[in-house]
């Protein structure tokens, strides 16, 4: 089966890329191209039309998610696997939102990459167990909490994610800093956070991708 599966692989770490390509070839996958930045990955996916592309998230020129979005805009049928070192909830949320079929850690043994490719090839989804747990538990809990925020509170959270303080938020929304502080207190309560400014700032920083989507 593996002989029939064509791949494009992209990662900006030369040693990791070289090792991954060698492993793939040892398993008789057909590697059409291996590239070191997102722009080249997009070009190769468009021109070579591989069955599957394996992408790092953080790459020069275009990151993995940007490559995926551009592929979707062009209705490219290539299935995507993200191979990354990122475990943050925001990255998992964005992968889930983009309906990415495979998301695995770089420190996994290669057999996990192989299993992921086989599952994605068959039309199934394959996430490392650590990511599945995050999506099933942590991520769903945060999304449920956000649902209780009012439109005004969600706007304030988005502005906090942009790095604005209460004074700047007040100026932008034409409300007093005191009103902003009241909203912040309500947000902290609804998100079930410790009653401190740092707690809300930390939550916003950890969930920027989620915040950007609502």
Confidence of residue 87 (pLDDT cuts 50, 70, 90): low
What would the DSSP string read from start to end of 61-93?
SS-HHHHHHHHHHTT---EEEEEES---HHHHH
Q: How far is it, in rounded angstroms, from Cα 210 to Cα 142?
A: 9
Chain centroid offset of residue 176 CA: 36
Give residue limits of the domains in the chain: 2-137, 148-213
Mean pLDDT, residues 129-151: 67
In this structure, what token pair is assigned to residue 83? 């191979």
Q: How far is it, in rounded angstroms, from Cα 175 to Cα 171?
A: 7
Better-scored residue on pLDDT, 87 or 190: 190
- CATH architecture, range 2-137: 3-Layer(aba) Sandwich (3.40)
- Give Cβ neighbours of residue 202 (< 8 Å, ≥ 6 apart): none
pTM of the model: 0.66
Q: How far is it, in rounded angstroms, from Cα 77 to Cα 52?
A: 9
In this structure, what token pair is assigned to residue 108? 């996994």
- The H or E element that residue 102 is part of is strand 102-105
**3-49: per-residue pLDDT in tens?**
589 999 999 999 999 999 999 999 999 999 999 999 999 999 999 99
Are 2-137 and 148-213 in the same CATH fold?
no
Q: How does DSSP classify residue 117? A: H
Burial readout 155-176 (b: 16 or more C-beta within 10 A, e: otherwise): ebbbbbbeebebeebbeebebe
**118-139: per-residue pLDDT in tens?**
999 999 988 887 665 555 545 5
Is residue 86's pLDDT more than 80? no
Q: What CATH number is given for 148-213 in this structure?
A: 1.10.10.10
């Amino acid at each position: 089966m593996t002989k029939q599966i064509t791949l494009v692989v992209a990662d900006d770490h030369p040693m990791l890329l070289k090792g991954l390509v060698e492993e793939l070839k040892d398993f008789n996958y057909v590697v059409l191209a291996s590239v070191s930045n997102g722009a080249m990955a997009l070009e190769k996916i468009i021109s070579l039309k591989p069955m599957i592309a394996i992408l790092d998230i953080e790459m020069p020129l275009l990151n993995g998610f940007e490559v995926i979005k551009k592929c979707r805009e062009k209705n490219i049928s290539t299935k995507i696997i993200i191979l990354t070192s990122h475990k943050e909830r925001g990255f998992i949320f964005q992968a889930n939102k983009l309906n990415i079929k495979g998301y695995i850690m770089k420190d996994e043994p290669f057999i996990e990459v192989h299993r992921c490719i086989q599952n994605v090839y068959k039309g199934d989804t394959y996430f490392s167990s650590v990511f599945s747990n995050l999506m099933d538990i942590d991520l769903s809990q945060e999304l449920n909490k956000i649902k209780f925020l009012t439109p005004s509170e969600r706007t304030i959270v988005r502005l906090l994610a942009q790095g604005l303080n209460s004074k700047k938020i007040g100026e932008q929304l034409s409300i007093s800093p005191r009103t902003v502080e009241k909203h912040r207190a309500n947000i902290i309560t609804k998100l079930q956070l410790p009653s401190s400014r740092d707690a809300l700032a930390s939550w916003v920083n950890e969930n920027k991708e989620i915040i950007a989507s609502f």
